[in-house]
Structure 1
Amino acid sequence: MDAAQEDRHWGALSELPGHPMMWVLILTEVVTFGLLLATFTVTGAVQPGVFAAGRAQLDSALGGVNTLVLITSGCLAALAVEACMIECRRSARLLLAGAAALGCVFTAIKVAEYAAKVEAGIGLETDTFFTLYFLITGFHLLHVVLGIVIIAAVALHDSLENLKTGTAFWHMVDLVWVVMYPLIYLVG
């Protein structure tokens, strides 16, 4: 199949940056996270006292730091694509390394946050708030780790399409967190 046929095959998806299959995955993940966050919101409305008590036990400052870490990481990933577009491959790889390193920082902070909860006797079965908290943030953390792997892979195989494809996934991970952070940590 030549490029023109492939563009017709994917329709509107072929207009998006990166490979269209990544956008199918991103759409699926956004819907999944949307359903999880809708469940969290509705359950919070049904059990406001449980959710207020749960939020009071979270460290919103750590969540805020993680928000800044992911936004900065996403910026570095976007700059890597720009560097690749002007054929500065070394700069693109360094920027991707920085994005992945910040993904590791996010992971370390999140694991430390989980460890503090476990040490305080809070776990998946503590109450409805923490069941949903661990499931949703854990699912997101899994995506961060997968995103780090994807960023590393596209740094090694750094064609422009690969970078656009990998960073599209990374931006989805960022965007989901930007919605999750206030909803889970602050709203209530």
Structure 2
Amino acid sequence: MKTIEERSNPYFANTHAKDVTGGSSKGEKRIPGELGIWFFIFGDMLMFAALFGVFLHDRSSNLLIFNLSQENLHGFYGFVNTLILLSSSICVVLAIRAMRHEMRANASFLILMAIGCGLSFACIKCFEYSEKISSGILLTTNLFWTYYYVITGVHLFHLLIGLGVLSFCYMQARQGRLSVERLRLVEGGACFWHMVDLLWIVIFPLLYLVR
């Protein structure tokens, strides 16, 4: 039982209180999200790592074709999309922090900003696809373009899933105070979105810059 001093002193009350993140104290550190999402992210990253490895292997055997094909890519599009996804990740980080402090309006706005960034990325990528197709550059043009469409297409698919995840996070943010379990689901969604961002940070130099 607490002593009279402990009951009257706010320091002791704050020491034993649980915070909204589910830790036993505000100083306790833990991995955000559920364990399952981290297994999924790890497996996804392994798949992309294998794809990148095969790409680099084939590139070393077809340097001339890969370098000539790469000249038809607009690095500006890739650079802008990189800035867009980095901005979206910053918004998601700030949104999760706002949700932990029950700042519902701020969290909702920041997640909407992240969704807007994701939609902008998808629009730019679709415009880039249409530009290439109208120029006669297709999936079957050569090996480089096969990899280009496959790698960026699979990434775009992940981004669209991520937009659905962010939409779920937005609905949770509007509910105000969340349970520990629901907050961890939102954190897991944020981790998935950061994975989408991280993958593009690798894809951009791999396809657009490596010579």
TM-score by length of 2: 0.81
Distance 1:36 1:114 in 2: 20
Q: Of residues 24, 31, 37 in structure 1, which corresponds to 2:46?
A: 31
How many residues get paired?
Answer: 174
User: CA offset at residue 39 of structure 1?
Assistant: 1.1
2:63 aligned with 1:40, yes or no? no
1:1-188 matched pairs, under 5 angstroms:
15-158=30-173, 159=178, 160-188=183-211
User: CA offset at residue 162 of structure 1?
Assistant: 2.6
Q: Which consecutive residues of structure 1, in runs of 5 or more, have no partner in the other structure?
A: 1-14
- For the residue of structure 1 that corresponds to 2:136, the secondary structure is coil
Deviations 1:35-70 (A, max 9, x none): 111111111111001110111000111000000000
Instruction: Point out the more displaced range, 160-169 or 120-129.
Output: 160-169
User: CA offset at residue 157 of structure 1?
Assistant: 2.3
Distance 1:36 1:108 in 2: 24
User: CA offset at residue 20 of structure 1?
Assistant: 1.2
TM-score by length of 1: 0.90
More helix as a share of residues: 1
Q: Which consecutive residues of structure 2, in runs of 5 or more, have no partner in the other structure?
A: 1-29
Distance 2:40 2:115 in 1: 20
Distance 1:111 1:182 in 2: 19
RMSD: 0.9
User: CA offset at residue 169 of structure 1?
Assistant: 0.1
| 8 Å contact from structure 1 (residues 155, 163) kept in 2 | no
| 8 Å contact from structure 1 (residues 77, 99) kept in 2 | yes
User: CA offset at residue 16 of structure 1?
Assistant: 2.1
Deviations 1:98-118 (A, max 9, x none): 101100000000000000000
